[in-house]
Amino acid sequence: MPRLSGSVVHWVTAQWQRRGLAAWLLWPLSWIFGGIAAWRRMGFRRGWKTSTRLPVPVAVVGNLTVGGTGKTPTVIALVGALREYGYTPGVLSRGYGATLTRPTEVVPTARPEAVGDEPLLIAKRTGAPVWVWPSRVEGGRALLAAHPECDVIVCDDGLQHYALARDVEIAVFDHRLSGNGFLLPAGPLREPLSRRRDVNLINDPYDRTLPDWPHTWRLTLALGDAWCVSQPSLTRALSHFAGKRVLAAAGIGAPERFFAALRAAGLQIETLALPDHYDFATNPFDGVAADAILITEKDAVKCVTWSDPRVWAVPAEAALDARLVSLVVEKLRGQPTV
């Protein structure tokens, strides 16, 4: 999705949740979009387009809808879970907004504008090799050449990147699920909901009943202790901010999920929803009267040079159901998906 103002994004998202006038007016275009996507998928199935298999198994974590759903914490959690099974994972990512000329390894000291904020966060949190490049096949080959010890690759996003063959697919949804059920631009779906996948993860802070889909589990996210962006070794429990003037800000796909989690932790907050992948080239907190400003870790990787002691990053820890991890491992060890 192009970078739009917050009010426009809010309006579009609201239209995608119902089958109102705007959705029906755009519905004919969704048939065109769906036809192009179906023809592309058929090209890979029939062999008209090449799907390349890397020499190690591949797990893809992505979504069928536009917008953030919780893929990054899922990737981080999956890397940890696979390590417990004895794997040595590497991670591939496109790197939203990355300015690169070749496949590149993401090191903890990399600039987020060069490699992307989400890959940088994954590299910092997991310590796993993380490589960025639009072509997942080229990126995977570069990763394995540099790190031959890696025996599994976790692909951050890329359900629709069919050029890379995969062994298991995990589709992450948030509380909006499939919205109005229409394809783009009439709805939020990149592909039909009927599209085959191995696992569904539902990231819903409101704990509503899970949809009746096969192999569907809840993605549980717990907020950890906040750390001070200007002094990362300084941490505080969220209860430390109770009773203070707190501004919560988030430049993620669905900022309200972050705000809801903070409220569930007992905090009274003012909120500032920023555009997804907000670059923080300018400080949106200048002149803000607040005792503390709580942001996501995805945003914090772009603010590490700031000296404002009021800015604290709040990590989100994902917990994966043991049955889900077992299914993923079975797929990685077994036959590839078709």
71 is in an annotated binding site: yes
Report the pLDDT value the prediction gives residue 205, as an integer from 0 to 100: 80
66 is in an annotated binding site: yes
Q: Would 27 be classed as within a structural domain? A: no
Q: Would 110 be classed as within a structural domain? A: yes
68 is in an annotated binding site: yes
Tell me the pairing of strands 231-236 and 226-228: antiparallel
Task: Give yes or no: residues 121 and 194 share one domain.
Answer: yes
Task: Give yes or no: residues 51 and 148 share one domain.
Answer: yes
pLDDT tens-digit profile, the chain (338 residues): 344 555 677 788 889 999 999 999 999 999 999 999 999 999 998 999 999 999 999 999 999 999 889 999 999 999 999 999 999 999 999 988 788 889 999 998 899 989 999 999 999 999 999 999 999 999 999 999 999 999 999 999 999 999 999 999 999 999 899 999 999 999 999 999 999 999 999 998 878 899 999 999 999 889 999 999 999 999 999 999 999 999 999 998 889 889 999 999 999 999 999 988 888 888 899 889 999 999 999 999 999 888 899 999 999 999 999 999 999 999 999 854 44
80 is in an annotated binding site: no
**Cα separation, 77 vs 70, whole angstroms:** 11
CATH of the domain at 324: 3.40.50.300
Report the pLDDT value the prediction gives residue 208, as an integer from 0 to 100: 86
Q: 117, 96 in Cβ contact below 8 A?
A: yes
Report the pLDDT value the prediction gives residue 196, as an integer from 0 to 100: 92
Task: Give yes or no: residues 238 and 169 share one domain.
Answer: no
Task: Give yes or no: residues 167 and 185 share one domain.
Answer: yes
Q: Would 29 be classed as within a structural domain? A: no
Peptide bond connecting 185 to the previous residue in cis, omega within 30 degrees of 0: yes
Q: Would 114 be classed as within a structural domain? A: yes
**Cα separation, 144 vs 129, whole angstroms:** 9
Q: Would 37 be classed as within a structural domain? A: no
Global model pTM greater than 0.85: yes
The dihedral built from the CA positions of residue 179, 184, 189 and 191, taken in this order, carries a sign that is positive
Q: 274, 303 in Cβ contact below 8 A?
A: no
Q: Would 54 be classed as within a structural domain? A: yes
Domain residues for the domain of 236 are 225-314
How large is the C-alpha radius of gyration of the chain?
Answer: 20
What are the phi and psi torsion angles at 269 (to 5°)? -135, 150
Task: Give yes or no: residues 253 and 193 share one domain.
Answer: no
70 is in an annotated binding site: yes
Q: Domain total for the chain?
A: 2
CATH of the domain at 238: 3.40.50
235 is in an annotated binding site: no
SS3 state at 128:
coil
Task: Give yes or no: residues 56 and 138 share one domain.
Answer: yes
Q: Which residue has the tokens 């007992």?
A: 266
Task: Give yes or no: residues 239 and 165 share one domain.
Answer: no
Report the pLDDT value the prediction gives residue 6, as an integer from 0 to 100: 58
Q: 182, 191 in Cβ contact below 8 A?
A: no
